[in-house]
Structure 1
Amino acid sequence: MHYAPSPSRYETMPYRRCIGGVRGLPLPAISLGLWQNFGDINPLSTQAAMLRYAFDHGITHFDLANNYGPPFGAAERNFGRIFADNFKAYRDEILISSKAGWDMWPGPYGGMTGSKKHLVASLDQSLQRMGLDYVDIFYSHRPDPYIPLEETMSTLAQLVRQGKALYVGISNYGAELTTRAVELLKNEGLSLTISQPNYSLLDRWIEPQLLAVNQASGLGTIVFSPLQQGFLTDKYLNKIPTDSRAARLDWVRAGLDTQTLERIKALNLIAQERGQSLAQMALSWTLRDPRVTSTLIGARTVEQLQDSLGALQNLSFSDDQLQAIDQITFSDPTIFTAPDKASGQDLLDHPNFRA
């Protein structure tokens, strides 16, 4: 049956602009990331249903990367099929982003690099998989300590000039690297549009410096992992479910220690007082700061997506609630704070950056 989107799709979703919330490219407050659940492990019909539901409710931004799956490339390939069957007529209403810089194909040019060789080949492959002429945003997915930042940024500018991307972004870059990237692109006659760091109630590393740098530099901030690999949901309040990501992946499970579980339970009590699920509050909290342009969610089912969109019903926090949240989330001085190193070497081994 032919898909026709809801005529009311723009009535409830708030949109925020990348430059201080008032200028620049607008994004929906909630964007849909296609990392974990759009590979070949889930039925294509389920994926299509989620994308249609998202667009019907004002989510105009779909975020991908070359290596999303599993297997690598599957998310883009599946998205391309769904896009051709459902969304091709609405291309001008949709923002599609992709990234490159992590493992993708064998050999020295295929992964964990920001080289021109990798970025150019990767975007060409992504466009082919998705059946697109261009992406709206193309990201350097990670800084590369072995490739000059000048090379990475000049390649992004080249891809815009070639018409393969409309805007460029960076992901997993700290404040110092972001400042350098902004200046390098300015020298190329191009503005850096957006930064994509991880951010959640359990990992607030971007607050001391990066948010301020992004604002001062005139670029938006779209945050990923706002639910901290699913920790900030109801599923981990009592035990680790056998079908959960923490049960499947050692590096995810390692972050779910006793102290973290206690913080999650305490946060859940505040969510209940607000009339929200824990996941809804976690999403609302990331959007409390106007410097956050959008928060990226993942979903395995339409029901999960629907619950996440419920966060938009209550985006305001009282001073007492924010103070209580600060006491819970700042109670552990060992909470990860990403070192702001120009080299980016610290990213290579940290599990939060295996995206």
Structure 2
Amino acid sequence: MPPSKARRSGGDRALGLLARGSAVTILGLLVALLATLVTAGAPAAARFGASFLTETEWRPNTLERPRLDARGEVVITGGEVEIEEVPPRFGALPAIWGTAVSSGIALLIAVPLSLGAALFVVRIAPRLRVAGPLSFMIEFLAAIPSIAYGFWGLAVLTPWLQTVAYPAMERLAGGTWVAGWVFRTRLADGTEIPVGLTGKDMLCGGLVLAIMVIPIVTAVARDVLRSVPRGQLEGTLALGATWWQSSWGMMRYARAGLFGAVMLGLARAAGETMAVTMVIGNNMQVAASPLAPAQTMASLLANEFKEASDQLHQSALLLVALILLVMSLALNVTARSLVVGGSSRTAAAH
């Protein structure tokens, strides 16, 4: 219980002011960052409007092409073809698509493995006396720099996918519809071409992200499962439930917190930059095949911001950064509220 105002010393008041000032400073930094990105991205937003989110073309340079008349024929004046300049065009849909697909692949792989690992650490590992070492390894994996995962993906995973996994997948798929979907991609004009199968694609990016996300989701899910009241577990066992039934009941009881753990993993995957940039292929296209090279919002910023000399190009990139920040902020706030709410619920039941 905090001391009354009459009993507070000068040190208490100073510490209170310092704590409040720190909280306000952190909030102010976030507001300043949002305001900066909104201001910087405003020219691109005003120029392209909602089409910025739906347009598939990302072209920073002015394009010169023959001028066409109303009938679609080339205009020739004085024996020379008239040339028109097409201004730069920016559409963020390919980057949004690449972010969504690579993050989705990562979650499809990471979520079942993470929940299984968390359940093992909470229910089985203590009896084997390995809960401590396993928890340490999980936290150690979460602390590894992302660039290390990226180099591993580039040096090991990409060549293996290109020379071993993809040829085997192509032989197994044969002439089925799966082969047509996975090993071919459709261009903007509707033309279908074979996927390059370089190993640098959305699947490779998703696999690297999955490895990075697993320890984070596992650590949070482990803490959520540990907060489930022991009476809840013992009650189900007393009613004759099997080990699997009691574990399922445990996960159902903590489902809000577990969903929050998954959301935290999604936020981590969507915002990852360097590791994905190294293995995803960095090609601005919307392709249905997971084996096609792509670009994420984070990798787009990493690849182009340094070379963006045009003001409109910079504004478009900062607008992408704003979209990524708002998305990550929404995911993190939702995840934290679910995790804290789930933990509070289980604590109240103790």
Q: Answer 1 or 2: which has greater strand percent.
A: 1
Q: More relative contact order in 1 or in 2 (CA 8 Å, sep 6+)?
A: 2
If the length of structure 1 is used for normalisation, what is the TM-score?
Answer: 0.22
If the length of structure 2 is used for normalisation, what is the TM-score?
Answer: 0.23
Q: Answer 1 or 2: which has greater helix percent.
A: 2
Q: Which has the larger radius of gyration?
A: 2
